[in-house]
Amino acid sequence: MSFRSMFVLAVAVVTGMVDVEVPGQKLVLSAGSQQVFGAEPQKQKDSSHWLPSGDMLGFTGKGGEPFALGIDPGLNQLYVSFAPDPSDPAQPNQVLAYRIPVTGPVLRSTALVGRGGSNGGGGIGANPVTHHVFISNSLDDSTSVFDGMTLMLLATVAVGDDPMGVAVDPGLNYAFIGNRGSHDVSSIPDVY
């Protein structure tokens, strides 16, 4: 294990979770379940689940393409922005919700969201206080907000051009969306 890997894992243990972006990959670490989750969209592989021992276990099994990952540590759920048919330029347009017990992820349900586009769907942020989940829809210039407990869509909010990254501040109850095309950041109050 490299120094960087040990540092990232140490941060995850202290903070409860951390998102790590590596070129071509997206990793989310959950200290609560001591698990690491990853997606490699450029390689068109399913999301993978790494057990604490380092063994790898594929878990989507849907034949599509994962784009982004997010965890709500309060609900102990993993959210995956997913394109069932990667050849469709409007996708990803689904979010898969997994419970993440120590034994490994279990698919709970799916939710439809806006169109991510071939380079989109790259941002998911979950508010661990309200359990609302924010997903960037790059092709639609919007952000979908759904309830992590019921998986019901609460709102679709217009944001800047080509939104990508999502960060949630549970203290302020705001989600922040980085817009690649308009070179700005949108803020969305979590009031749903």
Q: Which fold has domain 3-189?
A: Methylamine Dehydrogenase; Chain H (2.130.10)
3-class SS of residue 160: coil
Q: Is the pTM of this model over 0.95?
A: no
How far is Cα 121 from Cα 22, in angstroms, rounded to an integer? 16
Average pLDDT over residues 16-22: 45
Q: What is the pLDDT of residues 26-53, one digit of tens each?
A: 555 554 444 555 554 444 344 444 444 4
Cis omega (within 30 of 0) for bond into 92: yes
Query: Which of the two residues, 95 and 1, has the higher pLDDT score?
Result: 95
3-state secondary structure 8-47: HHHHHHHHCEEEEEECCEEEEEECCCCEEEEECHHHCCCC
Q: What is the pLDDT of residues 132-169, one digit of tens each?
A: 999 999 889 999 999 999 999 999 999 999 999 999 99
